């Protein structure tokens, strides 16, 4: 996988930020999708790029959640981190669907949902930037 290499080269904080930025840009680019099949290339490219960003964030998140813990706490930390991700997935899809369905114009609804999704990713990036400290060398 590419994520461990990126983490090894840049650290988890940078991986989380870069992955989040990639995911946010890819998600926001979906606003440019048209209503015809000619937009398929953008959908495929954005989905691919967003998937890479998401993978970087997921792996970076797991490494951050478990690094520095004693062996006997690793299972609990992994379980809590996985549960957090599952709650996000479980809630994210219906919330984005509700936002999209709240509009009478489906294209406007989808655009709004994409913008809200992008904003949520940006909040995650800002949280990382503001609260995740870098390792200090001794």
For every one of its 138 residues, what pLDDT tens digit does the chain have, with 9 covering 90 and above?
A: 799 999 999 999 999 999 999 999 999 999 999 878 889 999 999 999 999 999 999 999 999 999 999 999 999 999 999 999 999 999 999 999 999 999 999 989 999 999 999 999 999 999 999 999 876 544
- Confidence (pLDDT) at 49: 98
pTM check: above 0.85: yes
Pair of tokens at residue 19 = 């992955």
- Confidence (pLDDT) at 136: 52
| Nearest one of 107, 97, 121, 95 to 39, comparing CA atoms | 107
Distance CA(82)–CA(39), nearest Å, equals 34
SS3 104: coil
SS3 105: coil
- Confidence (pLDDT) at 138: 41
CA dihedral 44, 50, 54, 60 (to 10 degrees): 130
Residue corresponding to tokens 């797991």: 62
Pair of tokens at residue 33 = 């999708």
SS3 68: coil
- Confidence (pLDDT) at 135: 63
CB 111 within 8 A of CB 31: yes
């Amino acid at each position: 996988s590419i994520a461990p290499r990126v983490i090894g080269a840049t650290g988890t904080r940078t991986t989380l930020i870069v992955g989040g930025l990639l995911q946010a840009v890819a998600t926001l680019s979906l606003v440019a999708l048209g209503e015809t099949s000619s937009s398929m290339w953008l959908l495929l490219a954005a989905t691919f790029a967003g998937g890479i960003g998401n993978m970087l964030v997921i792996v970076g998140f797991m490494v951050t959640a478990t690094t520095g813990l004693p062996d006997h706490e690793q299972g609990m930390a992994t379980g809590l981190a996985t549960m957090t991700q599952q709650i996000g997935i479980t809630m994210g899809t219906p919330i984005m669907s509700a936002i999209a369905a709240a509009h009478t114009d489906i294209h406007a609804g989808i655009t709004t949902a994409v913008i809200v999704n992008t904003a949520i990713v940006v909040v995650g990036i800002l949280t990382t930037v503001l609260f995740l400290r870098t390792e200090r060398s001794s």
